[in-house]
Homo-oligomer: A and B are copies of this chain.
Amino acid sequence: MTRPMRKDAAQRRDALRKAAATEFAERGIEVPLDAIADRAGVGRATLYRNFADRDELVLAVFAGLVDELGERMRQKTAPDAFFDFVHELSELLLRNVALSAALRHAQSRLALVKLRQKIIAAGTSALSLSQAAGTVRADLEPGDIRILAALLGAGLETADPSEREAISRRTRALVLDGLRARS
């Protein structure tokens, strides 16, 4: 019966997520937590009550997006599903530049490992599909998806916003098509 009060709490939690998303986008995931609490119009302790530490907040901001991507991908059936995945992942990273930093730190920060797992989960079905259809080389493994994500986001966060689109496109070109001249 702890329901009726829940509405406020949920609103606050959501305000925090939104504020965090904005601050992460503008100043990176290492932005002072105070800035997030302030933007959310909420006390510091409330932030701590809702998210044990910075990384839980990071996770809360990005997990949904990655899950949605996975959802969409799982419905694909075309042979080049995996190329769609790469494109969408690239777009996702371009529109959420702080996500790259989050993934980079997944190594040492426990909460962020989940994010990496979600990315891998999001692309795995498409990878299998495309490999079965013979459009993607057979030696790729699901675990490579995280490397792919690192590549697709490389250099975006610190780049000037006006340059990001170009870097993203170029990165995709390099990654997708390879360096070798075609015979």
Closest Cβ–Cβ distance, residue A67 to chain B (whole Å): 22
Interchain CB contact under 8 A, A178 and B181: no
Interface residues of A in 160-183 (CB under 8 A from B): 160, 163, 167, 170-171, 173-182
Closest Cβ–Cβ distance, residue A152 to chain B (whole Å): 9
Interchain CB contact under 8 A, B151 and A171: yes
A136 within 8 A of partner (CB):
yes
Residues in B with CB closer than 8 Å to A135 are: 180-181
Q: Give me the interface of A with B, judged by CB distance under 8 Å.
A: 82-83, 86, 103-108, 134-138, 140, 144, 146-148, 150-151, 153-155, 157-160, 163, 167, 170-171, 173-182
Assuming the contacts A151-B154, A155-B147, A158-B104, asked whether A137 and B181 have C-beta atoms less than 8 A apart, the reply is yes
Interchain CB contact under 8 A, A170 and B144: yes
Residues in B with CB closer than 8 Å to A147 are: 154-155, 167, 170-171, 174
Residues in B with CB closer than 8 Å to A154 are: 147, 150-151, 153-154
User: Please, which residue of chain B has its CB at the minimum distance from the CB of A160?
Assistant: B107
Give the 9 A-B residue pairs with the shortest CB-CB distance, closest first.
A178-B178, A150-B155, A177-B178, A150-B154, A154-B154, A107-B158, A137-B181, A174-B178, A104-B158
List 22 A–B pairs whose Cβ atoms lie within 8 Å, in order of A's numbering.
A83-B179, A104-B158, A107-B158, A108-B158, A134-B181, A135-B180, A137-B179, A137-B180, A137-B182, A138-B181, A144-B170, A147-B154, A147-B170, A150-B155, A150-B171, A151-B154, A151-B171, A153-B154, A174-B175, A176-B178, A177-B180, A178-B180
Contact of A174 among B103, B134, B148 (CB under 8 A): B148
